[in-house]
Amino acid sequence: MKKESSIGLNLNNRWAVTCVGSDGEVKWTEEKDNLITTEGLNHILDTSFHAGTAVTTWYIGLKGSGSPAAADTLASHSTWTEAAGYAGTRKEWTEGASSAGSMTNSSSVDFSINATATIAGAFLASATSGTTGTLYGIVDFTAARSVLSGDTLQITVTVTAS
């Protein structure tokens, strides 16, 4: 019997983050791939193959200190904290339609920083706040970054399947 070869599905999320100071000058940039959680992978499988309910709105949150793990969920992520120091709640990720196996937000998702804080990464979740919902993925910056009141973080997330 001939053994069939298989081609795996590869998911990748690329985060591009720019910190703009109150003077309009770019203070720092970060571009990095993120970890897709087991919960995020299960969500994709369930909605594609098991009649699971699709999430119609995803939100970007900012990660404070700590390191993410594949087993993390919104309800349980004891190794990292959600960052504070920005106006409002998590920000809506308004993604465009997929094309050539990729989708991204059409304009940056902007966080208005209103306090001195340390931002160590970001995450994509199905809830605007709180600990219920799906934690899809988490990006851990190369190094924690300082932000000041008056700064703006501009975030673009590109999700690619190949």
- The 10s digit of each residue's pLDDT in 85-123 is 899 999 999 998 999 999 999 889 999 999 999 999 999
Give this prediction's pTM: 0.90
pLDDT at 27: 97
Q: Are 124 and 59 in contact (CB under 8 A)?
A: yes
pLDDT at 96: 87
pLDDT at 1: 45
Segment 54-82 mean pLDDT: 93
Which pLDDT band, with edges at 50, 70 and 90, does 48 fall under? confident
Q: How many CB atoms are closer than 10 A to CB 45?
A: 11
Pairing of strands 135-147, 117-125: antiparallel
Q: Are 18 and 26 in contact (CB under 8 A)?
A: yes
Q: How many CB atoms are closer than 10 A to CB 51?
A: 7
Whether the predicted pLDDT of 5 surpasses 90 = no
Pairing of strands 58-66, 26-33: unpaired
Cβ partners under 8 Å of residue 150, min gap 6: 21, 22, 113
- For 23, the token pair is 């003077």
pLDDT at 82: 95
pLDDT at 2: 45
pLDDT at 39: 92
